[in-house]
Amino acid sequence: MKIAFFDAKPYDIPGFDSYSAGTDIEIKYFETKLNEDTVSLASGFDGVCVFVNDTVNEAVVNQLYEMGVKVIALRCAGFNNVDTRACFGKIHVFRVPAYSPYAVAEHAMALLLTVNRKTHKAYSRTREFNFSLSGLSGFDLHGKTVGVVGTGKIGRIFADICRGFGMKILAYDKFPNPNAGLDYVELSELFAKSDIISMHCPLTDETHHIIDDAAIEAMKPGVVLLNTSRGALVDTEALIQGIKSGKIRAACLDVYEEEGDLFYEDYSGDVVQDDKLVRLISMPNVIVTSHQAFLTEEALNNIAETTMDNLVKFFEGVPNPDREVCYHCSRKNDCQKERHKKCF
Ligand code: NAI
């Protein structure tokens, strides 16, 4: 079986080479992302392996299907970039539901500590023997209230980490987990009472721009916003206005709604044309990382192992309902996956 692996990066290849060795699966790595312009590269392959910024819209799905591609293996948890409705009945889609929720939750805390205690600025200063402390003061996290939006695997670990810092946790989830030991409140109360808000829900039609002008208006003045989930949870223009007005004290973004053409690539020699991103990066109280929250050795290893397992099971016809995705997944609690324990 032949797999076309799109958006391949040097750190992906060793793990996938290792876990594909000894299987009947042959991988060809393409540096380019999958989209309407590049989909023809998948001709002659049985499956494609894609990541967060590959575009798997209806047109791409239909072309893949016409070329005989039978499976899309996402090497990530989120699947908002795949038109699962278009895939239904044509191409099976699998994902890696969890590879290291710790990696993402720990990165969110790293960003919060950095933006608060300004260690990134201190590091640059001391490297130039500038030992001034002016402008470096932060605040104690202990005793502050953190609002966690989305209390799945990552959100709950982030809440645990915050608890370790002596913070009070408020939680919001569309499907609250009664066993999570969390204090669930309405989103409006979370906005009104949180000193820090961290986004850990998936991107869906419902959560698109869940952080907009009205949400920011409802937040506590001086709030710190963390987004390590998906860029389009946040209306970037509203965020910029919120920071400019001082309502938002600081923002940490591992994801950005227009990241697709920029993140993971080196544009240090170019004039970046995305004015909103450039504005954000120019702000002293904003930290942007390039969708790297997942990037730990453990996560990369788990991603390769689970993705290869998904492909092997698919080609062997072994049901794998927990990792198969279909458009019913947005209905979460209703989906029975009753047809041969598969989505279709
Ligand atoms: P999960 O599926 O375990 O948890 C998601 C939670 O969000 C669930 O509890 C669900 O009930 C809740 N939710 C669904 N719709 C909601 C809504 N409308 N409002 C509030 N909550 C809602 O997912 P996990 O593993 O915790 O991942 C969370 C997100 O983190 C992923 O969807 C993905 O977008 C992002 N992520 C980011 C990474 C990065 O490198 N920056 C890496 C991995 C995931």
Q: Which two tokens stand for residue 232?
A: 């389009």
Check if the beta carbon of residue 181 is closer than 8 Å to that of residue 190: no
Mind listing the pLDDT tens digit for each residue in 116-148?
999 999 999 999 999 999 999 999 999 999 999
Which listed residue (230, 257, 323, 324) is catalytic? 230
Q: Is 287 helix (H, G, I), strand (E, B) or coil?
A: strand
Residue 76 CA: which ligand 1 atom is closest? 43
In terms of DSSP bridges, do strands 71-74 and 47-50 run parallel, antiparallel, or are they unpaired? parallel
Distances (CA, A) of 331 to 24, 72, 165: 35, 21, 35
Size of the chain, expressed as the number of residues it contains: 344
Nearest CA to ligand 1 atom 36: 229
* Cα–Cα distance, 90 to 71 (Å, whole number): 9
CB-based contact 325:94 (threshold 8 Å):
yes
Ligand 1 atom closest to the Cα of residue 177 is 9
Is residue 291 within 8 A of residue 257, CB to CB? The reply is no
| Max Cα-Cα span within the chain | 66
Note the helical H segments in the chain.
Answer: 13-20, 58-66, 84-87, 101-117, 119-127, 153-164, 187-193, 213-218, 236-244, 275-282, 297-316
Name residue 56's beta-bridge partners.
Answer: 82
Ligand 1 test: best mutation among 53, 82, 154, most atoms within 8 Å of CB? 154
Amino acid identity, position 307: T
pTM over 0.85? The answer is yes
* Structure confidence at residue 327 (pLDDT): 75
Q: For residue 292, which atom of ligand 1 is closest to its CA?
A: 40
Q: Are 111 and 289 in contact (CB under 8 A)?
A: yes
Respond yes or no: is residue 305 known to be catalytic. no
Residue located nearest, by CA, to atom 16 of ligand 1: 174
Q: Which residues pair with 339 in a beta bridge?
A: 342
Catalytic residue among 95, 156, 257, 259: 259
**d(CA 315, ligand 1 centre) in Å:** 28
Q: What pLDDT score was predicted for residue 261? A: 85
pLDDT digits (tens, 9 = 90+) for 253-290: 999 999 988 999 999 999 999 999 999 999 999 999 99
Q: How far apart are CA 200 and CA 223, in angstroms?
A: 17
Ligand 1 atom index nearest CA of 155 = 26
> Any idea what DSSP says for residue 117?
H
Q: What's the CA-to-centroid distance between 152 and ligand 1, angstroms?
A: 6
For each successive 10 residues of the chain (344 residues), what is the average pLDDT?
97 97 97 97 98 96 98 95 92 94 97 98 98 98 98 97 98 96 98 98 95 98 98 98 98 96 94 97 98 96 98 93 80 62 66
Q: Say if CB 20 and CB 29 are below 8 A apart.
A: no
> Residue 169's Cα: distance from chain center in Å?
22
CA-nearest residue, atom 1 of ligand 1: 152
Instruction: Say how many Å lie between the CA of residue 43 and the centre of ligand 1.
Output: 33
Which protein residues touch ligand 1 with a CB less than 6 Å away?
77-78, 98, 101, 104, 149-155, 172-175, 200-204, 206-207, 228-230, 254-255, 291, 293-294
pLDDT at position 250 is 98
CA of 133 to the centre of ligand 1 (A): 38
d(CA 77, CA 306): 11
Encode pLDDT of 315-327 as tens digits. Answer: 999 988 889 998 7
Contact 186, 207 (CB under 8 A): no
Residue 2 to residue 48: CA distance in whole angstroms: 9
Record the tokens describing residue 283, joined without a space. 């702000």
Query: How many angstroms separate the CA atoms of 260 and 201, rounded?
Result: 19
Q: How far apart are CA 103 and CA 17, in angstroms?
A: 23
Output the pLDDT for position 267.
97
The pLDDT of residue 36 is: 98
